Amino acid sequence: MPPHLTALADSLPSTVPFVGPETQERNNGRPFRARLGANENGFGASPKVAAAMAAAADDMWKYGDPENYDLTQALARHLGIKPDQIAVGEGIDGLLGLAVRLFVEPGGTVVTSLGGYPTFNYHVAGFGAQLHTVPYKGNHENPEALLAAVLKIKPAMVYFANPDNPMSTFWPAEDVVRLIKGVPDDVMLILDEAYGEFAPAGTLPPIDLIRPNMLRMRTFSKAYGLAGMRCGYAIGDAEVIRAFDKVRNHFGMSRMTQVAALAALEDQAHLAQTVKKVEHCRERLTRIAEENGLSALPSATNFVAIDCGSDGAYALRVLQELGRRDIFVRKPMTPGLDHYIRVSCGPDVEIDLFAQALPAALEAAGKA
């Protein structure tokens, strides 16, 4: 008899939060022509990243620095905070798992938004905790309702993303600060700011707003174009950040990832160019939606949520028809949000392909 899974592991589905485009390509027997579903940065990283990686290639026989020293110091200088207020990890996804492990007991309760980021929910389930979900308010996460749920059920943790995935919406900083100040001291607030570089001015609270019961999550995967390198960082109180050393994989950040992230951070001019390209692409995706009789939400991220004008079943057929035309997009699945498809910004050639495929996909999906 093989060893038994733990009771917790045995109770979990054999699934992942997202089916990758590579899996879909293997199932389809051909590649996508436009990769617009994973909120990657199709405009690419700074050319200085490739140069730095090439220069470092001969050192790849070495493990990465387990303290992530150079990158942490550079982030501290860039943000104007102290190095001991930053923890570097394997993307926000990895850091979310560590945070749940650190602050949520098995059987504990976590508050989040119904339809919010599924990878966070995956970690909560994986560590044996329970989710309490709060519906969106229209197309926005609802910070007032989240806070009310926190005060009522007294969870170990509450998760809030600003700007939001999957709807691309955002709240101004004053509303976020109200949530931050309202969360009790013994509840850990996870503030996911993965898309912060794309948001309007005044969206993110001041960087020096650091509290012992808050972790702010940021990433190199989006604006910096390094999704394949898996590098994110948490900002928080020094004592809380130090707790990550109890559970993190100390050699989890490869030497190449550290080199790439450092080079990306140092090229702020390229970052500014990327933000402008994303703004232009968001405007274009909005026009494409309107040309097809659809509407798009104003976006504070590097993707646009397009209302397919019917119900979730129809939006799913639209997504599938786009897939049959080798256009990869995604969509929310939660009722109330599921009549949207989510299209990532990308190079003009891929947006051209999406624009060409959308009318036929809408017709084939059978909209009345």
Here the CATH number for the domain that contains residue 92 is 3.40.640.10
What's the rounded Cα separation, in Å, for the pair 333 and 315? 10
Which pLDDT score, from 0 to 100, does residue 368 have? 46
Sign of the CA dihedral 237, 94, 175, 149? negative
* Domain count within the chain: 2
Smallest CA-to-CA distance from 100 within 243, 275, 263 is with: 243
The residue out of 267, 291, 323 marking a domain boundary is 267
Q: Are residues 144 and 253 in the same domain?
A: yes
State the DSSP H helix or E strand holding residue 104, giving kind and residue range, or none if neither: none
**Could you tell me if 113 and 234 lie in one domain?**
yes
**Collapsed DSSP state (helix, strand, coil) of residue 202:** coil
Shared domain for 177 and 28, answered yes or no, is no
Q: Judge whether 1 lies within some domain.
A: no
20 falls within a domain: yes
Same domain, 136 and 212: yes
Are 249 and 278 in a shared domain?
no
Residues lower than pLDDT 50 in the chain: 368
In a domain, 174, yes or no: yes
Residue 2 in any domain: the answer is no
Distance of CA 207 to the CA centre of its chain: 19
- Identify whether residues 310 and 179 lie together within a single domain: no
0.85 exceeded by pTM? yes
Say which amino acid occupies 30: R
Whether residues 255 and 355 share a domain: the answer is no
According to DSSP H, which parts of the chain are helical? 7-11, 21-28, 47-56, 69-79, 91-103, 118-126, 143-153, 173-182, 238-243, 255-266, 268-291, 312-324, 348-365
- Summarize pLDDT for 216-244 with one digit per residue, the tens: 999 999 999 999 999 999 999 999 999 99
Q: At what angle do helices 268-291 and 255-266 cross, to 10 degrees?
A: 80
Query: Any idea what the CATH number is for the domain that residue 339 is in?
Result: 3.90.1150.10
CA–CA dist 208, 73 (Å, integer): 16
Pair 134, 181 in one domain = yes
Same-domain check for residues 211 and 80: yes
Domain with 322, as residue range(s), is 7-44+269-365
CB half-sphere exposure, 293, CA atoms < 13 A? 7
Assess whether 231 and 251 both reside in one domain: yes
